[in-house]
Amino acid sequence: GNTPQREELLVADATSVDAPIPGAPGPVTHGIPVVGASSQDGLSLAEEGSTAYVNVLPAETRTDHNVIAELPGEDPDNVVMAGAHLDSVIEGPGINDNGSGSAAILETALMMADTEPQNTLRFAWWAAEEQGLVGSADYVAGLSQEERDRIALYTNYDMVGSPNYVFMVYDADQSTFPAPEGVTIPEGSEAVEDVYESYYTAIGEPYDDTEFSGRSDYEAFILADIPSGGLFTGAEVVKTEEQAAIWGGTAGEQFDPCYHLACDTYENNDDHALEVNSDLIAFAMLTFAYSTETVNA
Ligand code: PHE
Ligand code: ZN
Ligand code: ZN
Ligand code: ZN
């Protein structure tokens, strides 16, 4: 039987169990006894005499890179940014999360490459978002106050083509979605939100607000008081009947049933959502390329 003392050492991931030859010493230096599966010697891993170990590898440090592309405008001191994280979780290829946002801003950047914008356009493909917003946080931390002041606004695109989508816009109104304590959504963010919402309205696509609470790479920007906004089509949350009546799709299923899973492949996108949002991302970038007056009034 399992003794309580050993249960405390439960490690859930049975796939990483390394079962040594019975009687031989454990093969790993970082071995932890495991509960809940059975070892090759027929004993429950929790049982006295079990010789199974979990091979816990030492923490590993890797280097990852943000990719930044800038198109200088007439005004070098008024920078309009669009960002999307380029990494995925280890479990899957991350096509909706976040190949969708990465591809959409890449397409926009390519289409605008031959233009001569008024404002400077800066595109960012962030590293290691899934490891805790690492790339974007590092980027903003590395900017001087003067460099931060040159950024008129930041826009974020993380999951913009979910298979069971709802069109959502980060909501700058703190009365709708209270921001975490001590965090104020920067003034001007409302005007970014307005651009998205007026576009959805103009093309007759329904939209809703979504929480602006720091679950993606915009966090470092709002903490640095840089006006921000962005789009989202849903992750692990289950679609309601009411939402299915508005956007179609399947009630009772997640917006993205393959969220953070191996099945987040090329099949895991809704083409309509991706097309509408790609156009909108280009529209927003083009709008702010001409002027950020509504944001930085
Ligand atoms: N940042 C989340 C992820 O990459 C996705 C997400 C974006 C969730 C925005 C909520 C809001 O997994
Ligand atoms: Zn993710
Ligand atoms: Zn993501
Ligand atoms: Zn709104």
Residue-wise pLDDT for 114-149, tens only, equals: 999 999 999 999 999 999 999 999 999 999 999 999
In the predicted model, what is the mean pLDDT of residues 46-66?
A: 78
CB under 5 Å of ion ligand 3: residues: 97-98, 158
Residue 41 corresponds to which tokens in the numbers above?
A: 């010697």
Phi/psi for 272 (5° steps) reads -65, -50
pLDDT band at 41 (very low <50, low <70, confident <90, very high): low
Determine the residue type at 245.
Answer: A
**CA 141 – CA 220 distance, rounded (Å):** 8
User: How many residues would you count in the chain?
Assistant: 297
CA 47 to ligand 2 centroid distance, Å: 37
Q: What is the pLDDT of residue 3?
A: 34
232 within ligand 1 shell (Cβ under 6 A): yes
Quick check: helix, strand or coil at residue 30? coil
In percent, how much of the chain has pLDDT > 70?
Answer: 82
Query: How does strand 119-126 pair with strand 75-85?
Result: parallel
Selecting among 60, 107, 129, 211, the annotated active-site residue is: 129
CA distances from 57 to 4, 53, 254 (A): 25, 12, 33
Does the pLDDT of residue 111 top 70, yes or no?
yes
**CA 122 – CA 285 distance, rounded (Å):** 10
Quick check: helix, strand or coil at residue 54? strand
In the predicted model, what is the mean pLDDT of residues 89-106?
A: 97
Per the omega criterion (within 30 degrees of 0), is the bond before 98 cis? Answer: yes
Mutation probe of ligand 1 site: the residue of 129, 155, 215 with most atoms within 8 A of C-beta: 215
